[in-house]
Amino acid sequence: MRSDVVRKGIGSAPARSLLRADGLTDEDFEKPFIGIANSWNDIVPGHIHLNKIAEAVREGIIEAGGKPFTFGVPAICDGIAMGHKGMRFSLISREVISDCCEVMVEGHALDGWVGITNCDKVTPGMLMAAGRMNVPSIMVTGGAMETGRLDGKENLDLQSVFEALGSYSAGKVDEEFVKTIECAACPGIGSCSGLFTANSMACLTEVLGMSLTGCGTSLAVDEKKLKIARETGKRIVELVRKDIKPRDIVSMKSFRNAIRVDMAIGGSTNTALHIPAISKDFGHDVKLDMFDEISREVPHITSLRPAGMFSIHDLDNAGGMSAVLNRLEDMIEDAPTVNGKSIAEIAREGRVKDDNVLRPLDNPYHMQGGIAILKGNLAPEGAVIKQAAVSEKMMRFSGRARVFDRESDATDAILAGKIVSGDVVVIRYEGPRGAPGMPEMLSPTSLIMGRGLGDSVALITDGRFSGATRGGAIGHVSPEAYEKGPIAAVKDDDIIEIDIPARKLNVKVSDAEMKERLSKVDTVERPVTGVQKRYRKLVTNGANGAYLE
């Protein structure tokens, strides 16, 4: 085994001596060494319960004859980081998390490892590490929180709070109402209850074959989660003994399956960043165009928040990912999973328990998938929109540009009532290199919705959006402004044309004038130090998954 270098032979006596200080015995030196990468902390609601899950994984590892070792990795709550400097560190944390896992697993020659994860950047970061190291591994996603309720009726979540702020800024509600929503929206442990980024990635991790069946949609408070965790502990020991590695499981077929499911359930636009980045660490190259190709083939069959009315709990009760796979059975390409069953077997065995939550393919909520990729002279390399969360009125839209070089300036303008019907808010220099860190922009998009402008104002940015964003919000515009992409040359009152069915995003400026404008652009420079400075030097744009090269 890999760990033989620290536990076998006379030359390993110093390492064994230190391991004995951890409490290991001669008997333990005969067991597989299994790492547990635990992103527990007590500031992120989606992570405060992960020690309990880690303990269940430990029990499973011990029961199967392995020796567990737990180590920590960081996690950022995007909701808490939203709207201030902290959000510039969120996407950066994906790479930091991946590096932390690699450093600990490789540094201690572990035979296998389990990633205990939940929120937005932790799951893709751990998956990237799994592909990069190719050491036997399984993920346990921590699960969604229950939905918030007001007067026993409404499904509330973090999106509800941001949109309440928009209503407040428009004078539609008072401060007491906002406080009521604030106190009811997030009732306890778990990732936010809609199909935002954390839960999108949890679902896709299961479809990629890297977590056990049922893990993606089981709630944080559900005892089923602990059973899955314990079984994961047993299963990782078996994978180690059989030498089954992540690259034996995850192939291009797996990535195509994940994108099909993503389109069917209407996942976060951030999946168009994470899946391409993960694919690179698995030795593949998922292109942004693949999302659009599959979106045209796979209908949107469930209506989860923020696009619709249902929550992750509803999806779980309807049969979870195995039920979604069952709906898509004829489209799914067979591939292995960490379960020991193939994805095609799981699809065949899946049962849909609610035809309204998971509609048949011939009666979808939308004929196309949740995400669309737009291109044009404003985004030559592509831009991303969650078309399943766009009203019919905004599917084709033309408006005058209102240009801002930072998110906070746009937010101030929206709050001050300076953004009106027919405007296209353009927020630039918020891309991977320009920000740096490609911050999410739930604040301005939610303010637009809360002020009642969701059907008459669009927002375009080289930054990105929360999975909770809905409306005419187009992100990941590439090349970004910092690269002197066309978005850097847009001026106030330029006419921007959006045609989602035709996949077009254009500004009414001639090629000659665009070239002339770009030659005169003065790039906005933001001084950076430390991890941001290193990130800016290495990161690619949104069309390439903001992958570090």
Print the SS3 string covering 261-284. HHHHHCCCCCHHHHHHHHHHHCCC
Q: What is the CA radius of gyration of the chain?
A: 23
Tally of CB atoms within 10 A around 120: 34
466 is catalytic: yes
- Whether residue 475 contacts residue 387, with contact meaning beta carbons closer than 8 Å, is answered with no
CA distance 375 to 350: 37
Report how far apart the first and last C-alpha atoms of the chain are (Å, whole number). Answer: 31
CA distance 3 to 28: 12
- Whether residue 457 contacts residue 425, with contact meaning beta carbons closer than 8 Å, is answered with yes
Q: What is the DSSP string of 491-531?
A: -TT-EEEEETTTTEEEES--HHHHHHHHHT---------HH
Q: What is the DSSP string of 50-69?
A: HHHHHHHHHHHHHHTT-EEE
User: By CB neighbour count within 10 A (0-12 exposed, 13-18 middle, 19+ buried), where does 50 fall?
Assistant: buried
CA distance 193 to 159: 10
* Angle value at C-alpha 346, between 341 and 351, nearest 5 degrees: 150
Nearest to 433 by CA among 334, 357, 544, 327: 544
CA distance 276 to 288: 7
**Candidates 160, 251, 446, 466; catalytic one:** 466
Among positive and negative, which fits the CA dihedral 95, 411, 396, 489? negative
Among positive and negative, which fits the CA dihedral 386, 390, 392, 396? negative
Token pair 């592909």 is found at 131
Among positive and negative, which fits the CA dihedral 18, 22, 25, 31? negative
User: By CB neighbour count within 10 A (0-12 exposed, 13-18 middle, 19+ buried), where does 429 fall?
Assistant: buried
CA distances from 304 to 31, 32, 271 (A): 44, 41, 16
Please report how many Cα atoms fall inside a 13 Å half-sphere around the Cα of residue 48, on the Cβ side. Answer: 11
CA distance 166 to 107: 48
CA distance 127 to 39: 14
Residues annotated as catalytic are 466
